[in-house]
Amino acid sequence: MLMVGLTGGIGAGKSTVTAVLAEAGAVIVDADRIAREVVEPGTPGLAMLVAEFGDDIVGPDGTLDRAALASRAFVDQERTAALNAITHPLIGERTAELIGTAPEDAIVVHDMPLLVEGGMTPGYHLVIVVDTPAEIRLQRLVEHRGMAEDDVRARMSRQATDEARRAEADVLIDNSGEPGPVRELVRVLVDLRLRPFEHNLRTATPVVGDRTVVPFRPDWAAQARRACARLRHVLGDVAMRIDHVGPTAVDGLDAPDVLDLQVTVRDTAAVDRALRLLTDAGYVRDRSREQPLLHWCDPARPLEVTIVAQDDPEHEFALLMAEVIGADPSARAEYTEILRRADREETREWERTIASPT
Ligand code: ADP
């Protein structure tokens, strides 16, 4: 099962994207709908809210009066926490229930407006952000949905900025133009990335990157940061530190398009624990290497994750290397040359030498 998080600011056009994903067979889990469902008339959720906030949060027709609830719940942190303590577990339970009924080979898309605000992005295999500039969103919501401008602006001000959301995107979908090309893009995304990703995860098929040297890509650092956050989500305290290492960590260096990530753990027992956690989460062990090394399953983002104990010299040298090479122009040129020859042993030996204190 592939877990995709889909987000975007209010009015970004998430429904344009979920419609195509649903047509392609994805299971859509709609966070807004669930939030409404768990407090519908007759639910234990609504009863708990009434017990906490009083009878007058319910309108004459028996449904929740959201404005009345807001005026009682959003007065201070304690009252807001009381609201969340009721709704969050119910939403969580219902979400888990829906995901639990999806088939084993499903692409599950969690459509979640506040994914970034809630710091939840590392929990998904892939995060898709529908990106539409705030002014266009405002215009669409006022014109198509009849919302008041002030209301839209107030809601936007409580959401993450477009920039913060973009930083969390593995896939950024620009929906500022016509919807037609966006739909086509989403279909291609399903065929070329989501389906193979799901298949690889389910069948433990690793994506082993191509070692051909390509021109430096400025987004390697951000991709590595997101990949590290995902590893941290899986490993928790078992990892002492997680670093982007190897040639792609050297700013400006041409390198193979494979991100090297190093997980440092306390001792050899922790190496085994980390290996187990990562393989359970879908990372695939490379048995051809002596050192504990795993590949990931995203066809568009090859990764090599190594696990080292803190007293292993390997740990230090990998951390030093990017720094030493980054500061030395002739070392950079030499490194790219060696990377081009694509001989792993030779590369490793050279890296060791350059990072050793003289
Ligand atoms: P949200 O991301 O909040 O779910 P919606 O999918 O409801 O946003 O889209 C907000 C509004 O913008 C809707 O009225 C929708 O029809 C409209 N919309 C979405 N995408 C486009 C587009 N590419 N061009 C014009 N209008 C669009």
The CATH architecture annotation of domain 1-26+106-202 reads 3-Layer(aba) Sandwich (3.40)
Residue nearest to atom 20 of ligand 1 (CA): 13
For a pocket test of ligand 1, which of 15, 128, 156 has the largest count of ligand atoms closer than 8 A to its C-beta? 15
**Is 287's C-beta closer than 6 angstroms to any atom of ligand 1?**
no
pLDDT the model gives residue 174: 97
Could you tell me the distance, in angstroms and rounded to a whole number, from the CA of residue 222 to the centre of ligand 1?
Answer: 28
pLDDT the model gives residue 25: 97
Residue nearest to atom 18 of ligand 1 (CA): 13
Stretch(es) of the chain classified as CATH 3.40.50.300: 1-26+106-202, 35-104
Structure tokens at 201: 């995860």
For a pocket test of ligand 1, which of 144, 174, 183 has the largest count of ligand atoms closer than 8 A to its C-beta? 144
Give the integer Cα–Cα distance in Å for 302 and 263. Answer: 16
pLDDT the model gives residue 322: 82
Give the integer Cα–Cα distance in Å for 290 and 271. Answer: 13
* DSSP code string of 108-161: EEEE-TTTTTTT-GGGSSEEEEEE--HHHHHHHHHHHH---HHHHHHHHHTSPP
CATH of domain 35-104: 3.40.50.300
Burial grade of 42 (CB within 10 A; 0-12, 13-18, 19 or more): exposed
Which atom of ligand 1 is the closest one to the Cα of 8? 2
**Is 9's C-beta closer than 6 angstroms to any atom of ligand 1?**
no
Burial grade of 280 (CB within 10 A; 0-12, 13-18, 19 or more): exposed
Could you tell me the distance, in angstroms and rounded to a whole number, from the CA of residue 145 to the centre of ligand 1?
Answer: 9
Looking at the DSSP bridge assignments, the partners of residue 261 are 244, 305
Evaluate whether the domain defined by 213-355 bears CATH number 3.40.50.300: no
Could you tell me the distance, in angstroms and rounded to a whole number, from the CA of residue 111 to the centre of ligand 1?
Answer: 14
CB 304 within 8 A of CB 298: no
Structure tokens at 233: 């989500």
Could you tell me the distance, in angstroms and rounded to a whole number, from the CA of residue 136 to the centre of ligand 1?
Answer: 10
Across 49-84, b (16+ Cβ under 10 Å) vs e yields bbebbeeebbeeeeebeeebbeebbeeeeeeeeebe
**Is 14's C-beta closer than 6 angstroms to any atom of ligand 1?**
yes
Give the integer Cα–Cα distance in Å for 325 and 211. Answer: 19
3-state secondary structure of 46: helix
Diameter over CA atoms, the chain: 80
Find all residues with CB under 8 Å of 171, minimum gap 6, and list them. 126, 127, 128, 129, 189, 193
DSSP 58: B
Residue whose entry in the numeric block shows the structure tokens 């003289």? 358
Give the integer Cα–Cα distance in Å for 168 and 152. Answer: 23
**Is 165's C-beta closer than 6 angstroms to any atom of ligand 1?**
no
Instruction: Tell me the residue type at 126.
Output: L
Give the integer Cα–Cα distance in Å for 126 and 16. Answer: 18
Low-confidence ranges of the chain (pLDDT < 50): none
3-state secondary structure of 255: strand
3-state secondary structure of 11: coil
For a pocket test of ligand 1, which of 14, 16, 28 has the largest count of ligand atoms closer than 8 A to its C-beta? 16
Give the integer Cα–Cα distance in Å for 306 and 274. Answer: 10
Which atom of ligand 1 is the closest one to the Cα of 178? 23
**Is 121's C-beta closer than 6 angstroms to any atom of ligand 1?**
no
Sign of the CA dihedral running 324, 325, 327, 328: positive
